[in-house]
Every structure is written in C-alpha cells, then in structure tokens.
A and B are shown apart, each in its own frame.
Chain A
Amino acid sequence: MTATIALLGQPNSGKSTVFNALTGLRQHVGNWPGKTVEKKEGTFSHDGKEYAVADLPGSYSLTANSDEEEITRDFISSGKADVVCILADSSQLERSLFMMADYAGINVPSFLVLNMADVAEDQGKKIDAKALEAKLGIPVIQLSATDNKKYEAFFDAMNRAINNKSLINVSGLETELEKIEGYSTLKSIIPDGSIDNYSSMWLSAKAIENDKLVMESLNKYLSSDSLKKLDSIRQNTGGAVSTGNSKFAWIDELLDGVLQEKNDQVKLGKLDRMYLSPVWGKPAVILTILFGLIGSFIPALPFMGLGQAIGGLKTPVAEALFSAGVNEILITIICNVVLQSFSYILQMLGFVFGVVLVFGLLEEVGVMARISYVFDNSMAKLGLQGKSVMPFLISFGCTMGGAAGTRVIDNWGQKVLTIALAWAVPCGAAWSVIPMLASLFFGPGAVLVIVAILVTMVLHMWITAKIFGRKLVKTGERYGMIMELPPYHKPKWGALFRYVLGRTKDTFFRVSKVVLLVCFLFWALSYSFVPGSDPILFRIGKAIEPVTRVFGMGWQLFMAFIASSVGKEGALGVISALFNDGSFYTAFSDAMSGAGVAADLNEVLLSNVTKPEALAFIFAITFNMPCVVALAATYQETASAKWTARIAAYYTAGALLLSMIVYHIGLLIW
C-alpha cells in the first residue's frame, strides 16, 4: 500500500460519491471495533500504485459529540491516515468549509476538494480555487463527481499533498481566535506537540468548546495548577459559539475574492411545496416509498427468474444424479440444500439490488432528507430517524428488502433498531398465509384477526423499541434533528451503479454463507438417515410436546412453527405433510423445498386443530423470525453476528410467548 487516504466531510458534501467513484467494487463495509458505527474501507490503484481509502463517518464537526466524531478523531490522530481529503460543497461553500476550519491545526497533511462544482456553476457561483489554494497553503481543486475521467485533478492534488506534506496555513484563524477573551493565556498553558498530532491552537479551541476527549487528555497532561487556571479561563470564553464565530469569520475572510455569487432568493420548488406541506407531506412520502417498492421489482425480475430457474433444476438434477448411481444423501444435499439455497439467495439478491438502487437513488437526489423531515416527529418517539419509516413500509412486502433499505440510515444503532422493529411487520409471505388460515377457522371473524395482528404489530414494535432502544440508541444520545435539506441533485448514475453492484456482490458472499449453513442445519435435523425412522427434529418435537402444548402447539404445529422461521410459505406444506400420516419422514425437506400443499389441507386442519390452537399458531408464525434470507440480510446490514443472533432469539421467544397468551385467551372464548 502506497498511502492511506481518509475522506472527511460534512453530510451531503458528496463524500460517499467520491468514495464509490474511487473504489467501485473494491470496498468493504464493516464496523469500527467496539463502536456502533459503520466502517467503510476500500482500495484503488493509480499509476500502478495501490492506495487505501477510509470513508470517515459523516459529521458536521470534529468535536467529540458522538462515536462518529470520536472515530474520525482517533483515526486521524493515531496517524493511520497519510493524507486527509477534506470535502466541501461548492454550492454552499461558506457553510460547508466549516469542517476544514475545524480541521485546521491538526498536523496531518491534507488537501481540499470543492465538490459539486457543476451545481455551483448552475447557481451562477464562480469559485477561484487557485486563489483559495494560495491562501490556505494546501492543494485545492474543484470537482464534479459526475464522471471518473475528471479524477486526474484529484489524484494530482492528492500526490502533491502527500509529497509536500502540506498543512493548512492557520494564521488567519489564529488572529480570529485571539479575539476571544483568554484564548492567548489558554494557549500558553497548552504546549505544542503535547498531544498526538494536534497543535496548541487546535487544542485551545477545543478546550474552549469543552470537548470531552481534549479535556480528558489535558487532565492527564497538565499540572493541577494549570488545570485550575484553564478551568477559570474557560468559563468566560463563550464556548463553541465563540470559536464557531471565529471559524466563520476566518472562512469569510478566505472567501473574500475567491467566491463570487449572485444574491440568491430562496423559493420552494413544486416538489418541496408538496413534500414539506403539513397536510400532504405524509401521504406524498408514503406514495413515494410505495412507488419505489414497485420500482425495485423491475431490476429484480431477471434475478428472480434466474433464482426460480435454479429451483426448477432440482428435480432434473436429482433424477440425473440418481440414474448415475450417486449416493442418496449426497443427492438431497445437492438438491435440497445447495440448489435450494442458491434459488433463495438469487431471488433475494435481485430484490436487494432493486431496493438499494431505487432507494439509493432517492437518497442521492435528495428525497430521503425530505422523508426524514416529514416523519422526524413520529419516528423520534421510537428513538429513530424519520428515514426509518421507509424500511418499515418495504417490510410489508419483504423483510429482507426492508433490511437492505436501512443502508440509508447513517447511525448504526438506529439502523439495527430499525431492522429489529421491521421484523415485526408481517411480510408478503405472512399475508399470503394469515387470511387463508383465519377465514378457514373463523369465517367473517378473519377481519378481526387481521385487525388484532395489526394492533399487536404496533405494540410489538413499541415494546421492542423500549427493550433494544436502551442499548442501541442511548437516551443521552437522542438529540433532536439538526439536518440539512440539500437541493435536489441529478443522480450520478455511474457511481451509483458501481456502488450498487459492489453492495450486491458483498451481500451475495455474506448471505450465501448464512443461508447455506442454516439450510444445511435444518436438512440434517429433518432428514431420515435410517429409512422409516423419525428425523431428529421430529423426535425432539415429540419429546418436548408437553412443553409446546403450553404454547398451544402439538408437535406437528410446533414443527410447522420451526419451519416458518426458514420460510413462511413452508409452514402450510409441513402441516399438510405431518397430519397426513405415512410419508412424514421426508415431509420437512419436501415442504421446505416448496412441494405443493395437499388438496385436502382444509379438512386436515379443521379435523386436527382447535380454534384456540389455530389462533395461537397464526400469531406464532406471523411474529416469528421472518425467514432465513431476512436473517442473512440482517447480518449483512448490521455487520454484527451478535445482534443478528440476539434479534433472532428475541423473535423466536417472543412468538412463543405471544402464542401462549393468545392460546389461553382463546381457551377462555371457546
């Protein structure tokens, strides 16, 4: 690796567009160790040299207010970055240069990229990058991140910054800071080079802002006399508001003679008058998401066709292998585990591709910020961002799509919490089973059952938000929205497609592992290795039947419940096979691989299952783990095996508990 580049910029500075354009398919998403923040890394080569890129978490400043800023600070101060690329939005240069002003004084080489030059030009703004470079002392370039050919200037600035070890000229900022009462005395207490790569100016400004990490370090470094002095000076400085004023005053001075702009008049466009309307905002957002969901199916269709084709290969492959004299166990592994898994995975991947593309597009053009604004108030009650409404709505169609949709949520804790709540939303497969079972047992009362399920869903989400929310989104970190609503942008198709493909590839590998493992496990437990004898799973089911009876489930229903956590559609197949004695030792794998439901299912059910049992079963499968691919998608998006397992265990236990409650209420009624 020649050098490591860290990307630093405020939200909407086009940071991820640059990251995607640089790395394309060569990116990896994980978690920062010990933190609930997404880690995006990648590599690229230029002129035969390899470079590593770290996309630092988005934040508006470098003050240690949350995990995001702490990670950024740690990454830079520990010397992991050889050069920092600071990004600013040309169309609102004054405001977005704040990150650069907050960075000034850190002794790590940097260069400045004025992104979205095309947008600024459209607005009639003229920026003299060379003049700004002369004032700042670091390479400054303008960039329209629209296509990759224009990145030569980027690489040139990067190499100049690395070779010259260019640092920001801070004398102008220092002059402004000196106007703060007590700043100079404060600076004399804190010597240069005392902590990491920070200059004494930078440390003094952060001390005035009462920055948590700087204060901790100073507490260790300074004598108690100096600390007392520091504390008494700090009281009268005016805190972050004063230093903020100094930084903006410096930015104004920098932009004098650099930026020419017309006096802009703000007027809400048609789209914003609709989205931001107190009356039409919510319906407009919901319609947008629903259209997005439908739109997601279009790019998904080829994948889904391919997935189904692979599923269709099972019978011919099995026959071919059988006639070739291959061992029967091997045949079932190949067909019922491997082919079945890849049939699931490909169909799912198509949907992930569609959801990531469509909702990534909505985010890029700026619609997602409006969704956040409209639902901020309602979602804040659950500890979530307004954007979380989108995965919830997608989950009515498919939980895995909902999980993939959470990628637009920039806070990891809120992302995991959103997925955890989205699992409670009954998906399309559940809706294909619930009304059928409900009307079979309760006739017109089925409507009541569906209402009860929707009410339970809301309660479930509320309770789950209470239980998981405390850990994932700490109350101390629940701050109200301070967010920019960027102007609508044209999408950058090239970078978007590269990103979506990278994401889909990443999903494919991670998800395949999980799905293959789970499918193999279920197959092994439900396969009769000795012909005529019961599979292990059935023996366990029968043995613990006295326990499952408490939940209102005999062993057959309990097996169907277990099957429903692999796939909801499979549950009915398992029921029809298990209550029809005789061939039940292959029932499970047949049902799981989508074998038809027996024609006499209705009679079988009515003669074997009581009303309370049926009602309990409906609730149990609705609120059980959605399916194995949803589990895998959750693992993919959270990048945490621990939280994925935790959510899965919680839902399995929760479904059994619900089943028990419903069963006993049912016993009172009938």
Chain B
Amino acid sequence: MSLVEAKANGEVRVSKISGDARFQSRITSIGITPGCTLKVIRNDRNRPVLVYSRNTMIALNRKECSSIDVEVLS
C-alpha cells in the first residue's frame, strides 16, 4: 500500500521507495528510508501528507507519496 492511502493517527513502516533518482535522493536526505517508522499525523484531501519521523514533522506532497510503499503497523 502506498503512503497516500495510510490512515491518519496510524503507524506505518516504509517498505520500498521508488520514483526517479532525484526523488529518491530528496526523500532519503530528509530522513525517510526503507525500514523507518512513520507516524501519520494528518492525511487530508488537497493537503500534503503529514508524517512524524526521526523526531520531526514532515509534510510530503500527495503525488510524490504514491512512490513510497508502506506496511501498516497499527
């Protein structure tokens, strides 16, 4: 399942990151890597997805979130 489909207030683990080289480099440099746990803070229509990871809140564009595969933890 991709991150866009994740429910708010749930916890997910990143399983795979696809997308072009530039996206991969940008997303890893902000601290989102395979295996890391994300807490989904908000996932509202027409707004970036808000996740909490490695001690910080990160806003991610919805379209680009579809390149992040996750598995639901809770």
Q: State the A residues within 8 Å of B (CB).
A: 10, 60-61, 63, 65, 91-95, 98, 102, 209-211, 239-241, 243-245, 248, 264, 266, 268, 276, 278, 281, 372-374, 376-377, 479-487
Q: Which 5 pairs across A and B sit closest by C-beta, in order of nearness? A: A480-B61, A244-B28, A61-B29, A92-B55, A95-B31
Contact status B58-A65, CB under 8 Å:
no
Name the interface residues of B13-72: CB closer than 8 Å to any CB of A.
Answer: 17, 21-31, 33-36, 39, 41-42, 44-48, 50, 52-64
Across the interface, do A244 and B52 meet the contact criterion of CB distance under 8 Å?
no
Smallest CB gap from B65: residue in A: A480
Contact of A479 among B17, B42, B46, B64 (CB under 8 A): B64
Q: How far is the CA of A373 from the CA of B42 in the complex (A)?
A: 12
Cross-chain pairs A/B with CB under 8 angstroms, 20 sampled: A10-B29, A95-B30, A95-B53, A95-B55, A98-B31, A102-B29, A241-B24, A241-B28, A245-B28, A245-B34, A278-B47, A373-B47, A373-B50, A376-B48, A377-B46, A482-B30, A483-B48, A484-B30, A484-B57, A484-B58
Give Cα A627–Cα B22 distance, bound, in whole angstroms. Answer: 42
Known: A63-B29, A479-B64. A484 touches B56 (CB 8 A): yes
A485 contacts B59, C-beta separation under 8 Å = yes
How many Å from the CB of A205 to the closest CB on chain B?
11
Q: Is the CB of A482 within 8 A of B34?
A: no
Contact assessment for B24 and A60 in the assembled complex, using a CB-CB cutoff below 8 Å:
no
B44's nearest neighbour on chain A, judged by CB, is: A278
Contacts of A65 in B (CB 8 A): 22, 25-26
From residue A140, how far is it (CB to closest CB) to chain B in Å? 19
Query: Are B25 and A63 in contact (CB-based, < 8 A)?
Result: yes
Is B41 a contact of A266 with CB atoms below 8 Å? Answer: yes
Nearest-neighbour CB distance to chain A for B49, whole angstroms, equals 10
**B61 → chain A, closest Cβ, in Å?**
2
Chain A residue with minimal CB distance to B57?
A485
Nearest chain A CB to B39 CB, angstrom units: 6
- Of the listed residues A241, A479, A486, the one surrounded by the most CB atoms of chain B closer than 10 A to its CB is A241
B29/A485 in contact, CB under 8 A? no
Q: Complex: how many Å from CA A176 to CA B47?
A: 37
Contacts of B39 in A (CB 8 A): 266
| Interface size in chain B (residues, C-beta < 8 A) | 38
B18 to chain A, nearest CB (A): 9
Query: Would you give the shortest CB distance from A348 to chain B, in whole angstroms?
Result: 35
State in angstroms the CA–CA spacing of A268 and B41 once bound together. 8
CB-nearest residue of chain B to A91: B55
Cα–Cα, bound, A209→B24 (Å): 9
A480 near B30: Cβ-Cβ < 8 Å = no
A244 to B29, CA, bound (A): 7
A240-B21, A480-B62 are known contacts. Are A94 and B55 too (CB-CB below 8 A)?
yes
List the A residue with the shortest CB-CB distance to B56.
A92
What's the Cα separation between A63 and B63 when bound, in Å?
22
B54 x A94 contact (CB < 8 A): yes
Residue of B nearest to A380 (CB): B61
Which residues of chain B are within 8 angstroms of A245 by Cβ–Cβ distance? 28, 33-35
Distance to closest chain A CB from B40 (angstroms): 11
B58 contacts A480, C-beta separation under 8 Å: no
**Nearest Cβ on chain B to A99's Cβ, whole angstroms:** 8
- Taking A278-B46, A481-B48, A481-B61 as known contacts, 14 extra A-B pairs with beta carbons closer than 8 A to each other, sorted by chain A number, are A60-B30, A63-B25, A65-B22, A93-B55, A95-B31, A95-B54, A209-B25, A211-B25, A244-B24, A248-B36, A376-B61, A479-B22, A479-B23, A483-B48
Partner of A482, one of B21, B46, B58: B58
Complex Cα gap A276–B47 (Å): 9
A63 to B20, CA, bound (A): 14
> Which of B27, B41, B56 neighbours the largest number of chain A CB atoms within 10 Å of its CB?
B56
CB-defined contacts of B30 to chain A, threshold 8 Å: 60, 95, 98, 482, 484
- Does the CB pair A486–B56 fall under 8 Å? yes
Docked pose: A479 CA to B60 CA in angstroms = 11
Give CA–CA (A102, B30) in the complex, Å: 12
